[in-house]
Amino acid sequence: MHNVEYKAELRDPLVARAIAKKIGATLDATLDQTDTYFRVTTGRLKKRETTEQGHGPLPTQYIFYDRADIVRPKLSHYTLYTEDEARERYGQRPLPTDIVVKKRRELWLAGTARIHLDHVENLGHFIEFEVPIHPKSSVTAARDKTEQLKAHFAPALGEPIALGYRDLIAADEEG
């Protein structure tokens, strides 16, 4: 699967929520997520444990993804695995773990676009846009939608972020 992603610091979550409502996005869920990252030779692999507020735990997912570390909207390739599928793909022995990221995520939907308002433990507030690429859409259309979202949310956006939360936490621990 593929999507176009963009991430930035979030200056003001209240302003971002107001903008989301103004553009017709709907709050789909508030999620508490723990992502455990594993050391793999290429790309990134994380185990995501999620609890939806008011509904309880969701099935654990393993997410393998590969994308460039750039600040502009970027193409991401990803595969979702169940625990059994991950064991089959990566072996029965536990992989070495790397970093754990804990966050509260508000998931807003604007058509097929996903808007994440994230509060990441020990890092702060961020916003992320994910626009999926379906067989009937194109990378260009996904990039255009991402640029539209950036324009709408400009009053709430801080600096663009090239790295994932895992890499930001690792850099923070090193420095």
Q: What is the mean pLDDT of residues 67-75?
A: 92
Per-residue confidence at 175, pLDDT binned at 50, 70, 90? low
**CATH no. of 2-174:** 2.40.320.10
Question: CA-based angle 64:49:90, to the nearest 5?
Answer: 35
φ and ψ at residue 94, rounded to 5 degrees? -65, 140
**pLDDT higher than 70, residue 12:** yes
Q: What is the mean pLDDT of residues 29-34?
A: 98
Nearest to 102, CA basis, from 169, 42, 21, 28? 169
Strand partners, 45: 38, 64
Q: pLDDT tens digits for 47-64?
A: 999 999 989 999 999 999
**pLDDT higher than 90, residue 11:** yes
Contact 160, 39 (CB under 8 A): no
pLDDT of residue 117: 98
φ and ψ at residue 95, rounded to 5 degrees? -75, 150
Q: pLDDT tens digits for 83-92?
A: 899 989 888 7
Nearest to 144, CA basis, from 70, 73, 57, 51? 73
